[in-house]
Amino acid sequence: MRELVVLGTASQVPTRTRNHNGYFLRWDGEGLLFDPGEGTQRQMIHAGVAAGHITRICLTHVHGDHCYGLPGVLSRMALDGVPHPVHLHYPASGDPVVQALLAVGSPGIDLRLHPHSGAGPVADCLEVRPLRHRIETYGYQLREPDGRTLLPERLQAAGIGGPDVGRLQRDGVLGAVRLEDVSVPRPGQRFAFIMDTAPCTGAEDLADGADLLVTESTFSADDDALARQYLHLTAGQAGELAASGSARTLVLTHFSARYGDDVSVLAQQAQARAPGVTVIAANDLDRIPVPRRRQPAAEAAAPTTAIGLNHDGSS
């Protein structure tokens, strides 16, 4: 199962209806918690996300609205006796803040620290790119490798069945039959997470080809001077980012409290710059599925009874 559970959508100050940031991405067996702001532990209870589901925590930067929930979440994991390792990714220059937060949390979990200080992979299928904010900030991209989808009719026609299917998958060839002959390309799914930033190439890299793109959308177009001053995105810029990267679903969040509960005008501004993109202005506790896989051109005519080669995700 692959879905985003939105735990909080407020920047800077929470409101009656919007908690500070917090985003839980369920991605098959992994549970990635992004930017746990204050109150994340309680939002997880409202959303039905157990602390034991978290395998990885990713901080974009160490401003309070993105990390003050960390000690609470880690303490809860210790209380629950979470046995598996938990990986914590954060910008290296944020280490003093992270250490201070860890110092007040309860010990007892197998926490592994992974500070990063440049663009590149930080774990299997997980990459970071620098963003442009007032302190060192990175966005994340989770990228499933491209695979191939087997077509049962072609396997049958080629006389391949049983354990031979596994051999063909492993070796790419079985006798005279190549894997390509009995399968079609299956693009890997991509998730991107972009928080506090002015428009920049790092954000563009992350948004590229995203099936699900979560971006900050702090300000309305009317307040673009504030966005420039504090190095944030306007909703329109978030839309441009999604359009330039051919993203499919854009989730707007990290709203300034000045717009109150109704951020529909921000969604409209983003949508105006991103025709064809599904734009969602997130509310706390929303659950947003990762969209079905992109269909490669060659796959359009393929039977619907295809078998996924790896984990099947939402397709």
Residues within the annotated binding site for Zn(2+)?
61, 63, 65-66, 133, 196, 254
The yes or no reply on residue 127 touching Zn ion (CB under 5 A) is: no
What does the CA dihedral 255, 257, 258, 262 come to, rounded to 10 degrees?
A: 70
In terms of CB distance, is 156 or 229 closer to Zn ion?
229
Given the residues 35, 65, 211, 223, the one annotated as active site: 65
Could you tell me which residues are beta bridge partners of residue 198? Answer: 132
The CA distance from 145 to 49, in Å, is: 27
Write the DSSP symbol of residue 114. Answer: E
The 57-76 site mask, x for binding Zn ion (CB under 5 A), equals --------x-----------
Give 66 or 76: the residue with its C-beta nearer to Zn ion: 66
Which stretch, 10-18, 123-131, 165-173, 176-184, contacts Zn ion (CB under 5 A)? Answer: 10-18
35 counts as binding Zn ion under rule CB under 5 A: no
Nearer residue to Zn ion within complex by CB, 38 or 127: 38
Tell how strand 287-289 and strand 278-281 pair up.
unpaired
Q: What residue has token string 């003050």?
A: 68
For the bound state, the minimum distance from the C-beta of residue 12 to Zn ion, rounded and expressed in Å, comes to 6
The residues facing 172 across adjacent strands are none
User: Mind giving me the DSSP string for 16-52?
Assistant: SS-PBPEEEEEETTEEEEE---TTHHHHHHHHT--GG
Q: Please state the separation of Cα 256 from the chain's center in Å.
A: 21
Provide the minimum distance between the beta carbon of 60 and Zn ion in the complex, in angstroms, as a whole number.
Answer: 8
Residue choice 35, 38, 144, 196 for contact with Zn ion (CB under 5 A): 196
Query: With respect to Zn ion, which residue has the nearer C-beta, 170 or 228?
Result: 228
224 is catalytic: no
**Which position among 9, 11, 217, 220 is part of the footprint of Zn ion (CB under 5 A)?**
11
Q: Is 40 in the site for Zn ion (CB under 5 A)?
A: no
| Rounded (10°) CA dihedral 74, 124, 32, 115 | 40
Q: Which residues are catalytic?
A: 65
- Interacting residue ranges for Zn ion, rule: CB under 5 A: 11, 65, 196
